[in-house]
Amino acid sequence: MADAVVEFLLANLKDLLLYHVDLLSGVKDQVESLHRELSLMKAFLKDSREKRNEYEYVRELVRQITDVTYEAEDIIDTFVVNASMQKARSTIRKVFYAFDHTQMLRSVSEQIKSIKVRVKEIYDKKMFGIQSIESGGPSRKISPRKRAPVVEEENVVGFDEEARTVIERLTKGPEQLEVISVVGMGGLGKTTLAKKVYTDPSIEYHFYIRAWYYMSQQYSRREVFLGILDSMGHITDQTYKMNDDRLAEELCGYLRSNSYLIVIDDVWTMDAWNDIKMAFPNTACGSRILLTSRNNEVAMHANPYSYPHCLRFLTDEESWELLCKKVFREGSCPPELQELGRRISKRCGGLPLAIVVVSGLLSKREKTRDWWNKVAESVSTYVAKDPKQCMDVLALSYKHLPDHLKVCFIYFAAFPEDFEIPVSKLLKLWVAEGFIQQIGQESIEDIAEEYLVDLVDRNLVIVEKKRANGRIKSCRIHDMLRDLCIREGAEEKFLQVIKGIQDRASLTSIPNYYRRLCIHSHVLEFVSSKPSGPHVRSFFCFSLDERDVPREHTAFIHEAFKLVRILDLKSITFSRFPNEIVQLVHLRFLALSGHFKVLPSAICNLWNLQTLVIGTTSRNLDILADLWKMLQFRHLHTSGLSCLHGPRAETRKDSEDPFVRRNIQTICTVVPECCTENILARTPNLKKLGIRGKLLTLVEERGGTSLFDNLAKLDHLETLKLLNDTFPLHPSQCNIPCLPQSYKFPPNLKKITLSDTLLDWVHMSTLGMLPNLEVLKLKDHAFKGSQWEPLDGGFRLLRVLQLGRSDLVHWHASGHHFPRIERVVLKHCTYLEEIPYGFWEVSALQNMELYWPKPAAAVSARLIQQQKQQGQRMVNSAFKLLIYPPDL
């Protein structure tokens, strides 16, 4: 965590020195010197990563570096706030504050000097301590413990079908050696499943040689080879005298002539597999390696040609069955405890390890309703009371993460329990927090998404929903992992979670080092208490229902959280825009809801702002802020019909337009009138654009050109939403006659959404000609007419097609019209007679969803499903058909 803290402060200081040096007047030299000292600390942190896990002395140094970095950050950020306020004052008022500013400079200068002295002291201690360690001097070494997991062999629930699947994969297939992997989150039962498979009679019969080795994080090649040979009973005194390579040859020679099954349990890295794989000969005997891991990437590396077996969570019924078996053994649960017992088992989230732990707690006490009710109210708390059995097992996954992923993972504690986290928001928050460092020319959001995928591959994050293009739309983490995040977050001085009004009193005792404050309930009661967090950098409010908050309860925010960088107040509804927020110059992410119609021009004073999310009850929103003055700005999300204005000043003619903002990637949603060259030419790297209003204004030509022509210059645009909002007129009174020609669309467009455009189906051919289109969402009344006949040669890359309400009756199409279609979704297409039968020929088609279809259309979809299942090319097809309501 210290690495991220120092990295962020260094980046912040660099930005100040490059772009806002005027604010550092009087202390610039001190800030530059501090930057150099902290750079040395950064180098030490990088060099000491391995020693942290071994030596308590090094860990203590790292803790001291974190504390002193936080203190330095507070001093610099406070100075910048005060300097910004003084800079904004009028000339007359500046005279009165001149003396105060001089005093402030003197004070800050002394504080920075003090910090530098402390940094030097830590550096000197580090040099002495590391030299002592390297010379073998006295230092407390943390000895890692290698302990094989306790394998549950009795009362196993939910593994019968899983075991059959794995056994079939082991006993069938090619004669060549094959690696079969079982992957899943810690505590899910990978070892239990592997043991069930390993001891199955059919496996004992099928493989001449069997061996088991538990590998874990700390291993040596020698120990692995000796362990496998010992498991097979093929070990002598001479074997112990062999080196690694000779042991590998011995093992390879023994396995060469017979079919074998080797279970390698708990492999953590690709390097670990690379270290040992040479000992397993690839002979045509049908031999297998069964590998278990928490990391999907390890499994795919061991065998890139076969998907790993992903272990699932237990169902609610399986969880209840397991709890009953563990608590009551051969008996049954008393009727008066069944409802509470089911609640308890469900709250374990399908994690067998958690169910086993909580079952042990229930077994040790008298089985009363009061006791069971207490456990049901806070299952994870009771599980955490026995860390050796559960939390420490889960913590292994966290401790094995690289530093850049640790901070991203702990961040999940900021969200409430069972909260479905929008990925687009999560990635923007990570960027705003400074967790993501730029690498080459790759988009910083793309790097953040790679981090998330890495956490998913490590089975630490659960994918809740996917986007039409296959990317993750929302995610969550298991409740037990969330508790782990909260625990580690507190230990790392990372965040404070206020779960309810009962925790409110504890706010006054929050240590100064907590940087993030997360309110998970009773938001109105909390903010009305006027809490104070002078060191808080991120302030989140979550609530099930948005609440109107009186003005007097929110005016304190800019004073209470002067140094805040992230302010997420979407669950609070403001009566008017809180103008005081524009004084929070460190803001990078701002999310607000309210009844306001105007965003004031003063927002451009937030020179650090990257993301602005505004939800308003007003139909129209006028954005007066000159966003073109904001160098860091990246994403604009607004509701309603938003009007965005162009730059207010003249541009230079002798160089690049100073108001071009290459960072801006998202503008959603704005009225068509905003699509001028003056605006769009200044956002050359725009990736997502949403337009809402009278689209006729966008496409109608005047003087031979239209506003839509400006979109063709957006070479990086991938997503375009066109929402024809003509209120108070009906869309039919102001619909667009046709789409612009295909060459006028952005050249790299991958996703289009249309709504209320009421286009004739003949114009679908224009969309079909877009060369990179992958996702097409036709919302309600996007097209009109009873018949659609696609033209040949279109939609060559289209993977997802969604149709909303329309009067379409006959859809004449064959498979070749949509050669790469993977998913078809129809919502309320109540007139459509049938789904084109030719879809069964599309080998890529995996999913079809029909909501409120005509019965005849439902029948045709089932015929397609039947044909795909019977087709020779689709024997192993995973085609899924969803029809709602299911009785159609």
Per-residue pLDDT reduced to its tens digit, 860-888: 999 999 988 876 444 445 789 999 998 76
C-alpha to C-alpha distance for 792 and 812, rounded to whole angstroms: 12
The helices-and-strands tally (H runs, E runs) of the chain is 28, 31
Q: Are 15 and 35 in contact (CB under 8 A)?
A: no
C-alpha to C-alpha distance for 835 and 858, rounded to whole angstroms: 8
Query: Same domain, yes or no, for 177 and 263?
Result: yes
Q: Is the pLDDT of residue 143 over 50?
A: no
Query: Same domain, yes or no, for 6 and 126?
Result: yes
- Ranges assigned E (strand) in 107-235: 178-183, 209-214
pLDDT of residue 121: 74
- What is the number of alpha carbons within 13 Å of residue 887 lying toward its C-beta? 0
Q: Is the pLDDT of residue 139 over 60?
A: no
pLDDT of residue 825: 96
pLDDT of residue 403: 84
pLDDT of residue 821: 95
- What is the number of alpha carbons within 13 Å of residue 652 lying toward its C-beta? 7
- Report, as an integer, the average pLDDT of 218-224: 89
CATH number, domain of 214, equals 3.40.50.300
pLDDT of residue 275: 94
Q: Are 403 and 47 in contact (CB under 8 A)?
A: no
Query: Same domain, yes or no, for 21 and 50?
Result: yes
| Per-residue pLDDT band at 41 (split at 50, 70, 90) | confident
Contacts of residue 172, defined as CB under 8 A and 6 or more positions apart, other chains included, come to: none
C-alpha to C-alpha distance for 752 and 515, rounded to whole angstroms: 40
pLDDT of residue 592: 93
- Report, as an integer, the average pLDDT of 382-387: 73
pLDDT of residue 394: 87
Last residue of a domain, one of 246, 281, 310: 310
pLDDT of residue 177: 94
Q: Is the pLDDT of residue 16 over 70?
A: yes
CATH number, domain of 34, equals 1.20.5
pLDDT of residue 778: 97
The model's pTM is: 0.88
For the chain, percent of residues with pLDDT exceeding 90: 51
| Per-residue pLDDT band at 110 (split at 50, 70, 90) | confident
Domain contains 62: yes
- Report, as an integer, the average pLDDT of 517-532: 79
| Per-residue pLDDT band at 410 (split at 50, 70, 90) | very high
C-alpha to C-alpha distance for 802 and 651, rounded to whole angstroms: 44
Lowest mean pLDDT among 243-247, 504-508, 667-671: 504-508
Nearest one of 873, 872, 836, 830 to 851, comparing CA atoms: 830
Contacts of residue 76, defined as CB under 8 A and 6 or more positions apart, other chains included, come to: 9, 12, 13, 16, 31, 34, 112
Last residue of a domain, one of 276, 310, 344: 310
Lowest mean pLDDT among 217-226, 834-843, 869-878: 869-878
pLDDT of residue 59: 73
User: How deeply is 740 buried, as exposed, middle or buried, from its count of CB atoms within 10 A (0-12, 13-18, 19+)?
Assistant: middle
| Per-residue pLDDT band at 89 (split at 50, 70, 90) | low
Query: Same domain, yes or no, for 346 and 486?
Result: no
pLDDT of residue 125: 65
Query: Same domain, yes or no, for 182 and 126?
Result: no
Domain contains 807: no
Q: Is the pLDDT of residue 54 over 50?
A: yes
Query: Same domain, yes or no, for 290 and 166?
Result: yes
Please report the DSSP string for 862-887 in residue order.
HHHHHHHHHSGGGTT---EEEEESTT
Lowest mean pLDDT among 145-149, 314-318, 525-529: 145-149
Vertex 64 angle, CA 59 and 67, to 5°:
130
- Report, as an integer, the average pLDDT of 772-780: 96
Q: pLDDT: is 52 or 856 the higher one?
A: 856
- What is the rounded average pLDDT for all residues in the chain? 85
3-state secondary structure 200-269: CHHHHHHCCEEEEEECCCCCCHHHHHHHHHHHCCCCCCCHHHCCHHHHHHHHHHHHCCCCEEEEEECCCC
Q: Is the pLDDT of residue 21 over 50?
A: yes
Question: What angle, rounded to 10 degrees, do the helices at 56-88 and 2-19 form?
Answer: 30
Residue with tokens 């991958």: 750
pLDDT of residue 118: 75
pLDDT digits (tens, 9 = 90+) for 500-518: 655 555 544 455 567 898 8
- What is the number of alpha carbons within 13 Å of residue 48 lying toward its C-beta? 27
Q: Is the pLDDT of residue 568 over 90?
A: yes
Domain contains 390: no
pLDDT of residue 69: 82
What is the domain extent for residue 356?
316-384
Query: Same domain, yes or no, for 165 and 213?
Result: yes
Question: What angle, rounded to 10 degrees, do the helices at 403-410 and 391-399 form?
Answer: 130
| Per-residue pLDDT band at 53 (split at 50, 70, 90) | low
Q: Are 231 and 211 in contact (CB under 8 A)?
A: yes
Token reading at 378? 């806070």
Q: pLDDT: is 387 or 787 the higher one?
A: 787
pLDDT of residue 12: 82
Question: What angle, rounded to 10 degrees, do the helices at 28-47 and 2-19 form?
Answer: 150
Query: Same domain, yes or no, for 439 and 474?
Result: yes
Token reading at 574? 């403001």
- Report, as an integer, the average pLDDT of 333-355: 91
CATH number, domain of 405, equals 1.10.10.10
- What is the number of alpha carbons within 13 Å of residue 545 lying toward its C-beta? 5
Query: Same domain, yes or no, for 210 and 320?
Result: no
Is the four-CA dihedral 336, 339, 342, 348 of positive or negative sign? negative
- Report, as an integer, the average pLDDT of 339-352: 92
Domain contains 864: no
Q: Are 813 and 835 in contact (CB under 8 A)?
A: no
Lowest mean pLDDT among 57-71, 531-545, 719-733: 57-71
Q: Is the pLDDT of residue 409 over 80?
A: yes
- Report, as an integer, the average pLDDT of 412-430: 93
C-alpha to C-alpha distance for 615 and 109, rounded to whole angstroms: 42
Last residue of a domain, one of 310, 344, 362: 310
Domain contains 774: no
For the chain, percent of residues with pLDDT exceeding 70: 88
| Per-residue pLDDT band at 653 (split at 50, 70, 90) | very low
| Per-residue pLDDT band at 566 (split at 50, 70, 90) | very high
Domain contains 290: yes
pLDDT digits (tens, 9 = 90+) for 451-492: 999 999 999 999 999 887 888 999 999 988 998 898 888 887
Domain contains 632: no
Look at the chain and count its residues: 888
Domain count, the chain: 4
Q: pLDDT: is 125 or 729 the higher one?
A: 729
| Per-residue pLDDT band at 241 (split at 50, 70, 90) | confident
- Report, as an integer, the average pLDDT of 267-296: 94
Name, of 82-91, 271-280, 360-369, the range with top average pLDDT: 271-280
Q: pLDDT: is 795 or 440 the higher one?
A: 795
Query: Same domain, yes or no, for 414 and 471?
Result: yes
Domain contains 755: no
C-alpha to C-alpha distance for 467 and 456, rounded to whole angstroms: 15
pLDDT of residue 151: 56
- Ranges assigned E (strand) in 662-740: 666-670, 688-693, 719-724
pLDDT of residue 380: 80
Q: Rounded to whole angstroms, what are the CA distances from 665 to 445, 615, 636, 637?
A: 10, 19, 8, 11
Contacts of residue 111, defined as CB under 8 A and 6 or more positions apart, other chains included, come to: 75
pLDDT of residue 571: 83
Query: Same domain, yes or no, for 424 and 353?
Result: no
Is the four-CA dihedral 736, 738, 744, 748 of positive or negative sign? positive
Q: Is the pLDDT of residue 96 over 60?
A: no
Query: Same domain, yes or no, for 12 and 64?
Result: yes
pLDDT of residue 784: 95
Q: Which amino acid is at 782?
A: A
pLDDT of residue 289: 96
Nearest one of 634, 604, 636 to 621, comparing CA atoms: 636
Q: How far is CA 201 from the centre of its chain?
A: 43
C-alpha to C-alpha distance for 645 and 647, rounded to whole angstroms: 7
Name, of 16-25, 157-166, 353-362, 765-774, the range with top average pLDDT: 765-774
Q: pLDDT: is 69 or 213 the higher one?
A: 213
